[in-house]
Chain A
């Protein structure tokens, strides 16, 4: 082989190898928020925001559609269902005019909303329960959230458990801070005393055991999102 031929062969080989390596790095499912997969997640977020209509409601279902008691899957991120600290109250802050803390009684005095919609889990199961609580939009009004805060972060008193949302989904009329389920106070398995519940997100975005809500100018991550699950996760 001539020197030129060898050079050509070598450069072609290197280029092909480099391309293959770049392809592997760009499309590594063990790190889905990077490379090509991360790029496509941002593209998909735009597509999902385009499809999202803030006034479109998920169908409200009849009581007969409810998943039988005890059959609604209850997941936890740790070994135990955590217990609320004594004197629990929800801290509300960030870019708001009136930051503060609300007890469960304070929250229950606010206008109550009941949702009975289908719950969609990222794993593929779905289930139905009725949820009682107060709309996040009601809370935003109460504390005077600044419209420059385009994101809302929900934090749990369970160590490391949190999620951040786009403002539009958080203010959707079917997004609530729920303190009741199926007509009873929320049970520990489902996030007592207060959890996020919504018709417009996958289940893993609905933080349980809430301790704080913050209206923020930029997005943060989340317990599941930081592991590589999609951030937007609308349904």
Chain B
């Protein structure tokens, strides 16, 4: 039976995720504004370029520290619940076969696609199923970043009850840096993602309505 390019559960979780991530990013930046410094109080990290500069107010949500924290912890639950629904569907439906990046299968396609997109290689990459290697790499990377964001967030939320997790990330201050870095990389992913959607508006229609899947080559692990 022909599956839509974007099955219903993936469409729903995609849009819920958008709401949750916007709320998490905005409230997270408001929390950062309360102490816009990374590293020990006595030894700020030298590599962080925005030491002491609070994030621009228009990017923040929640208005003040306590409000932003409450928002952050509401939407954290939404994010985790949504991710759980996604993960269960992802595993049970077999969608992971077409969406996860497998180096042996996808590395060549990813490399060729990047070269082609950068106008360094004229030939079109070989046709693939739902996604090419570069897309699989980007989407798998975004999933990994989401996991890093949640784990580093838990390490900051419970640095004593979950002190092994916090220690595994290099300690409390390092976990703050990891948490912010995950946000920065997710923001970068989102910018590229939006640019690609503008170049290929069809994908937006598919993510809204489902669309049709071309079944050539899809499904092989």
Q: Report the separation of the CA atoms of residues A43 and B35 in the bound assembly, to the nearest whole angstrom.
A: 27
Q: Are A230 and B41 touching (Cβ within 8 A)?
A: no
Alpha-carbon separation in the docked complex, A106 to B69 (Å)? 40
A71 and B176 contact, Cβ closer than 8 Å, known pairs A32-B67, A228-B66: no
> Are A36 and B74 in contact, CB atoms less than 8 angstroms apart?
yes
Q: Least Cβ distance of B159 to chain A in Å?
A: 5
User: CA of A126 to CA of B38 in the docked complex: distance in angstroms?
Assistant: 10
Contact with B along A191-235 (1 / 0, CB 8 A): 000000001100000000000000000000000000111100011
Interface residues as binary, B51-66 with A (CB distance below 8 Å gives 1, 0 otherwise): 0000000000111111
- Chain B, residues 18-55, CB within 8 Å of chain A (1/0): the string is 00000000000001101101001110000000000000
Who on chain A is nearest to B67 by CB? Answer: A29
- Within A28-74, which residues are at the interface with B (CB < 8 Å)? 29-30, 32, 36-37, 40-41, 43-44, 48, 51-53, 56, 58-59, 67-68, 71-73
Determine if B173 is an interface residue (Cβ-Cβ < 8 Å): yes
Task: Known contacts A59-B163, A123-B35, A124-B31; decide if A51 and B158 are in contact (CB<8 Å).
Answer: yes
Q: How far is the CB of B77 from chain A (nearest CB, A)?
A: 7
- How many A-B Cβ pairs are below 8 Å? 101
**Is A155 interfacial (CB 8 A cutoff)?**
no
B161 interface residue, CB < 8 Å from A?
Answer: yes
| B 169-207 to A, binary, CB cutoff 8 A, 1 in contact else 0 | 000110010000000000000000000000000000000
Q: Is the CB of B161 within 8 A of A235?
A: yes
Q: In angstroms, how far is the closest chain B Cβ from the Cβ of A226?
A: 11
Contact of B160 among A67, A121, A127, A235 (CB under 8 A): A235
The proximity string for A residues 1-42 relative to B, scoring 1 for CB distances below 8 Å and 0 otherwise, is: 000000000000000000000000001011010001100110
B218 to chain A, nearest CB (A): 40
Say whether B83 faces chain A, with CB atoms less than 8 Å apart.
no
| A135 in contact (CB, < 8 A) | no
Taking a contact as CB atoms under 8 Å apart, the answer to whether A29 and B71 are in contact is yes
Number of interface residues of A (CB under 8 A): 40
A125 at the interface (CB under 8 A from B): yes
Q: Does B162 contact A (CB under 8 A)?
A: yes
Q: A120's contact among B71, B162, B172, by CB below 8 Å, is which? A: B172
Indicate which residue in A32, A126, A235 contacts B70 across the interface (CB closer than 8 Å).
A32
Q: Are B74 and A125 within 8 A (Cβ)?
A: no
B68 to A235, Cβ gap below 8 A?
no
By the criterion CB–CB under 8 Å, are A235 and B159 in contact?
yes
Tell me if A116 is interfacial: C-beta within 8 Å of chain B. Answer: no
Tell me if A186 counts as interface (CB < 8 A to partner B): no
Q: Is the CB of A40 within 8 A of B77?
A: yes
Residues of B within 8 A of A68 (CB): 42
Listed in ascending order, the chain B residues whose CB lies under 8 Å from chain A are 31-32, 34-35, 37, 40-42, 61-71, 73-74, 77, 157-163, 167, 172-173, 176
Given contacts A51-B161, A229-B65, 20 further A-B pairs with CB under 8 A are: A32-B69, A40-B73, A41-B70, A48-B158, A51-B162, A67-B41, A67-B42, A117-B160, A118-B159, A120-B172, A122-B65, A122-B69, A124-B31, A124-B35, A127-B40, A199-B160, A227-B66, A228-B70, A235-B158, A235-B161
**21 A-B contacts, Cβ less than 8 Å apart?**
A27-B71, A27-B74, A29-B61, A30-B67, A32-B69, A32-B70, A40-B70, A41-B73, A59-B163, A59-B167, A67-B41, A68-B42, A120-B160, A122-B34, A122-B69, A124-B34, A124-B176, A125-B37, A126-B172, A234-B158, A234-B160
